[in-house]
Amino acid sequence: MKIKFWGTRGSVATPGEETVKYGGNTTCIEVRLKDNSLIILDAGTGIRKLGRELIEKQNKDIDIFLTHPHWDHIQGFPFFGPMHMEGYNITVHGWPTTNRKVQNTITVQMEGTYFPVDFSQLSANINFNEISGLTLPFKHAQLSFCRCNHPVICHSIKIREDDKTFVFMTDNELESENRLTDWQGFVDFCRGVDLLVHDAQFTPEELQKRIGWGHSSHVKVLQLAKEAGVRILGLFHHDPDHRDEFIDFMLEDCKKRILGENLSMDCFAAQEGMEIML
């Protein structure tokens, strides 16, 4: 299983000299299974560049899983090149919100008021799959899901292929006052995984002023990874106000804590273009 980051930023895209190292595009991750099957996690602005590569490589069967419909996770969809080309088969998977299905979430942002190309004008074959259960077979892999603590319906995604497991848990407030999943539920979901990529948008001090926003601190994420026995931890969903140097600081703080507790865990902060092979 190969994981590649195309967008690592949360909330809003932040291009500029202060975000060169970790990137300024919003959430998008490419997952390749051993048979080269493609899974795309979220459709933030990072999906635009991914789309160009998929066209070059002639990857015409594409599955996109949306964790939730907040704008930083869907706003790249109208600029996803394969949608505008014949011969591409695209399935968008996700969960309906309280008042809107997945298809409506995607198509509304392409109405004439917001975008010059209406969804009905797209050339690709595009289908929508409303996920209802907590597991989903995908090719020879197994996907499972866990509800995140976020202001809108949001799910983390676990991908298991043979003996390798990857969990993508973005936009999650681990100790939310209005818990949809409790701490032990997250520990159990992440137990023993090879790679956990988790929302670590804030420091503990910043988080105190942002309770209820649906995000976590890097310290609390590290605690989750420790209790779950995670092998590799990736800090993700970087705050738009965090410069590269500040993310460096958060990463170094995690590494010091790992060293101080003598944990057998690797840790990194996700960067655009970074690839990990499990």
- The DSSP line for 64-105 is EE-S---GGGTTTGGG-GGGGSTT-EEEEEE---SS--HHHH
Give the residue from 90, 83, 89 showing the smallest Cα distance to 123: 83
* Contact between residue 168 and residue 41 where contact means Cβ atoms under 8 Å apart: yes
Is the predicted pLDDT of residue 94 greater than 70, yes or no? yes
Q: How confident is the model at residue 232 (pLDDT cuts 50, 70, 90)?
A: very high
- Say which CATH class 2-271 falls into: alpha beta
Residue 145 sits at the vertex; the CA angle it makes with 144 and 151, to the nearest 5 degrees, is 170
pLDDT one-digit tens code per residue, 166-207: 999 999 999 888 899 999 999 999 999 999 999 999 999 999
Domain definitions of the chain by residue range? 2-271
**How far apart are the C-alpha atoms of 16 and 19, rounded to whole Å?**
6
Going through 72-192 in order, the beta strands assigned E by DSSP cover: 89-94, 125-130, 135-138, 141-147, 155-161, 164-169
Is the predicted pLDDT of residue 99 greater than 70, yes or no? no
Give the per-residue pLDDT at 175: 87
Mean pLDDT, range 52-66, rounded to an integer: 96
Q: Mean pLDDT over all residues of the chain?
A: 96
Q: How confident is the model at residue 100 (pLDDT cuts 50, 70, 90)?
A: confident
What is the reported pTM? 0.97
Mean pLDDT, range 56-68, rounded to an integer: 96
Give the per-residue pLDDT at 98: 60
> 18: Cβ–Cβ under 8 A, 6 or more apart, which residues?
243, 244
Give the per-residue pLDDT at 75: 96
Is the predicted pLDDT of residue 97 greater than 80, yes or no? no
